[in-house]
């Protein structure tokens, strides 16, 4: 099984393809350099296969490469960052 995560700026989301099929996405609201992640969804036939974790990990890596920051309003993404503190520096905390 091969994963590919790509940003879809027109839809304000990062999408994960599994063997060329859309398996899920994580949606965001753009606020300048900050993205507010609001929802992560994995299609039922791809659940319990690590697709959600692969999606969030690749999304966080791409946000880091772009020099961006984020607000993890989505409970799945927030929990992932709590379990992987190496991504905590990406979280934008308003002053």
Domains of the chain with CATH codes: 3-90 (3.40.630.30)
pLDDT digits (tens, 9 = 90+) for 83-94: 999 999 999 987
Rounded to the nearest 10 degrees, the angle between the axes of helix 51-65 and helix 75-83 is 80
Interatomic CA distance for residues 26 and 38, integer angstroms: 8
pLDDT digits (tens, 9 = 90+) for 59-71: 999 999 999 999 9
pTM for the full predicted model: 0.95
Which H or E element spans position 34? strand 34-42
| Cβ contact 67:89 at 8 Å | no
């Amino acid at each position: 099984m091969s994963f590919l995560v790509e940003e879809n700026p027109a839809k304000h989301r990062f999408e994960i393809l599994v063997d060329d099929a859309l398996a899920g996405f994580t949606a965001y609201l753009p606020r300048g350099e900050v993205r507010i992640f609001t929802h992560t969804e994995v299609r039922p036939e791809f659940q319990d296969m690590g697709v959600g974790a692969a999606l969030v990990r690749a999304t966080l890596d791409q946000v880091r490469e772009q020099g961006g920051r984020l607000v993890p309003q989505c409970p799945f993404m927030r929990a992932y960052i709590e379990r992987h503190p190496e991504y905590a520096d990406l979280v934008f905390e308003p002053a």
